[in-house]
Structure 1
Amino acid sequence: MTISKPVSDLTSDASNLEKIAAASDHSHPHDPHNHEDHEPASASSHHTHVHNEDSQRRIVNRLSRVEGHIRGIKAMVQRSENCPDVLIQIAAVRGALDRIARMILDEHLTQCIVRAAAEGNIEEELEELKTALDRFLPRDKPPGKKLDQPK
């Protein structure tokens, strides 16, 4: 197997993800974010999510970079590159997705939850958040359970 980059470059790529994110932000008009245009996450989602345009743009840009990073990982696998190098890149993507999730959660807490409290439907909003967090957060594995082995 051939390595197209030294491991030090790969780890530096992972640590530079934030710098890349900041450098590639661009600005152009976006439509307001409105969840009523598509299927809601749960049957109880009735309110409109209107978010700060700049924040939405940053999140979409970061997701686009993650999408490109994943395509790069796929290409590494197709070229049969060194497994540890692929795992390092997967870890970088996980970290980037975690940072995006934190941005979304922070915005949800500071905008959507606050708005729901002002409108008097905080319980419904908190239930939706709990349901989403149950899916988002890793579940505990039973003790002694091993990774899935190929059959």
Structure 2
Amino acid sequence: MAHVRRDKKKLLTRIRRIAGQVAALERAMETEADCSDVLIQIAATKGAMHALMMEVLAGHLSEHVVAGKTERGRAEEARTIMELLAKYAR
């Protein structure tokens, strides 16, 4: 996945931000924060994970489906993405 290697610094920055959000969520739980604050932190963390997923998925689609070298390879990658999206949507 050349796109992941190429965008490694940007993706790691996103991942570290998500780790900070998860740590804040853990602190909120440990300190018995108000449930609305916990819910807001959960939503923010979920949104950040979703944005990361979409960024990596967009790169994957561009490099492995749209620009795939063979019709068979593109079809296999498309199937893989469909399976991934089915799992992700659960």
Q: TM-score range by the shorter chain?
A: 0.7 to 0.9
Whichever of the two has the greater Rg, that structure is: 1
Runs of 4+ aligned structure 1 residues displaced above 6 Å come to none
Structure ranking higher in helix proportion: 2
Kindly report which structure 2 residues correspond to 1:93-132, keeping only aligned pairs within 5 A, or say none: 93-116=45-68, 118-120=69-71, 121-132=73-84
Matched residue of 2:2: which SS? coil
What's the TM-score once normalised by structure 1's chain length?
A: 0.54
Q: Alpha-carbon deviation of 1:52?
A: 5.5
- Indicate the percent of aligned positions where both proteins have the same amino acid: 25
Matched, 1:55 2:7: yes
State how many pairs are aligned.
89
Structure 2's unaligned 5+ residue stretches are none
- Give the root-mean-square deviation of aligned CA atoms: 1.6
CA contact (8 A) 2:64 2:74 kept: no
Tell me, yes or no, if structure 1 residue 70 matches structure 2 residue 22. yes
The gaps in structure 1 that reach 5 residues or longer are: 1-48, 139-151
Please, what TM-score do these two structures have when normalized by structure 2?
0.86
Partner amino acid for 2:42? I
| C-alpha distance 57-67 of structure 1, shift in aligned 2 (>3 A) | same
Alignment partners' CA distance in 2, 1:64 and 1:52? 16
